[in-house]
Amino acid sequence: MCSILGIFGLQPGDDIVALRRQALELSQRQRHRGPDWSGVHVDTGAILVHERLAIVDPAGGSQPLRTADGKLVLAVNGEIYNHRELEQQLRQPYAFQTGSDCEVINALYREDSDVGAWLNRLNGIFAFALWDRERQRYLIARDPLGVCPLYWGHDSHGRVCVASEMKALVGLCADVAQFPPGHYFDSASNALVRYYAKPWRDYDATRGVAVSKQELREAFERAVHRQLMSDVPYGVLLSGGLDSSLVAACAARFARHRIEEDDRAEAWWPRLHSFAIGLEGSPDLAAAEVAAKALGTVHHGFKYTFEEGLDALPEVIRHVETYDVTTIRASTPMFLLARRIKAMGVKMVLSGEGSDEIFGGYLYFHKAPNAREFHEETVRKLDALHNYDCLRANKSMMAWGVEPRVPFLDVEFLDVAMRMDAQAKMIAGGDSPAPDGRRRIEKAVLREAFEGYLPDEILWRQKEQFSDGVGYGWIDGLKAHAEVHVSDREFAAAASRFPVNPPQTKEAYFYRRLFEQNFPGAACAQTVPGGKSIACSTPTAIAWDAAFASAADPSGRAIAGVHQAALAG
């Protein structure tokens, strides 16, 4: 994974030399994403800058990627996991210039005029800008769920600018905004088009559809297997919770062989390393040790202090580009962990984001009244994931040049898991209570599919949010710190100072103040929807159980308390 920056719409008379210098300076703001090499393309119509983190073909594969005739120029942030299959299926000859997995995008663009069709063939995580010099046409696109970040806007001359992180466009584009996931923009039609729209989004398309435990398990195993594509050392994030433990368990089964050679050769780094972080006494650190011992990983459990986390907050907010409370709480230990991982020479990790959105893992899903509402909420949460867990995982890790991959959000696995009738995902208490008592826990259908993979104490462990699992003193300390450093007078005037999404707590105010220092103005503020996590007090949760309306704190621990109180009532 890397970073890209593009400026399109250059006109005769523009000072190309000055614009090139400006583009390089802007791109430097996101060089942490690509510390290995920089590449620049400049012509009379466009400027593309690429900061590279070399994961596949580290000796070659430098970007921007050009066709042999120089007519197409491509800058990509991401990975195309099925690039070899796509290369084999090409109908027209294409002279590949590198071993990069991303170069197949140039080949597909040249071969197929239906942009949406070939974008839907990609299995990967990506954000790219493609420049067609001959047609003076550019194409911008983002992966289906927005795992890779992307922002765009217009400079004062009306030129379209695009970058991997918002910080590269601050001061350049007054209208900076997120580029929407699952969309592409084609300058030839001047249209923003949604290309990713699956039948399973509609509950009626899933009603009565059964997915066996074996099919679910094998689909996830394939997702993990293809995402192990790497020419550099990699590892897994292991909190000891269900999701990260399943990722680690599957990765451990494939780690001894090299994926890029169809498992015919021994892996260059055959021992799987796992990583966890927490405060002293962290529930996650203890659970991760149990999981790692069962899986046989080379495990690294790191501890941090509250003061170290607090010291990192300004940098965390600058990197993750949000003021969402839950995201910042969880991003801080992840940011510190990424620094440790980077110091060990690891450049890629697999992580467990997305499982809760697919299988209804948040605790308020216990109160879903029926399968239709359960399913519709999972779709809504997947649509919003790019603002929360995907943003956190990507930017916290990439702050130190470590690429996170998320097998639960693999598009082929999604098609299997989301076409399942949500009735099978519901916790007992929905339309038809499940027959076995074990089903009174979230994500039981996933747990059952992996019986025997993990110790029961891990496989059936109750969910905790990452910010809770690193140690309960982390959240309590943050709230106490904000109480001291945000006065009652400041907080009373919050709506006047921050008219876009006014902070609702002193902790939220504290983060918002740090955010504003790096990202001033209404446009930047509007890139954060609502400013509070979708994991708590959402309209859906409140509709299902009015008790959630009092849950101002988005901590999983707080929500669990609300849920238990609701059950008792």
Q: Longest Cα pair distance anywhere in the chain, in angstroms?
A: 74
pLDDT over threshold 70, residue 288: yes
Summarised one tens digit per residue, pLDDT across range 485-503 is 999 999 999 999 999 999 9
Question: What is the mean pLDDT of the segment spanning 319-331?
Answer: 97
Which of the 8 DSSP states describes residue 200? G
Q: Give Cα 186 to chain centroid, integer Å.
A: 24
What pLDDT does 554 receive?
52
Which domains, ranges and CATH numbers included, belong to the chain?
3-197 (3.60.20.10), 209-481 (3.40.50.620)
Taking the alpha carbons of 171, 174, 180, 184 in that order, is the dihedral positive or negative?
negative
SS3 state of residue 117: helix
Q: How far apart are CA 301 and CA 430, in angstroms?
A: 39
State residue 552's pLDDT score: 52
To the nearest whole number, what is the mean pLDDT of the chain?
Answer: 92
What are 81-109's pLDDT values in tens digits? 999 999 999 999 999 999 999 999 999 99
Query: Under 8 Å CB-to-CB from 493, ≥6 apart: which residues?
Result: none
Look-up of token digits 């097998």? 407
* Token pair listed for 57: 């073909």
Secondary structure class of 284 (helix, strand, coil): helix
- The pLDDT assigned to 62 comes to 87
pLDDT in tens, 387-445: 999 999 999 999 999 999 999 999 999 999 999 999 999 986 433 344 444 456 899 99
Residues tagged active-site: 2
Q: Could you read off the pLDDT of 534-552 as tens digits, one per residue? A: 344 467 888 898 877 666 5
Instruction: Using alpha carbons, select from 319, 351, 326, 336 the residue that is nearest to residue 278.
Output: 336
Question: Which one has a higher pLDDT value, 461 or 137?
Answer: 137
Section 130-157 average pLDDT: 98
Predicted local confidence at residue 465, as pLDDT? 57
CA distances, 494 to each of 206, 513, 530 (Å)? 45, 10, 14
Per 3-state DSSP, what percentage of the chain is helix, strand, and coil (rounded to 5)?
A: 45, 15, 40
Q: Which residue type occupies 137?
A: R
**CA–CA dist 341, 537 (Å, integer):** 34
> What's the one-letter identity of residue 466?
F
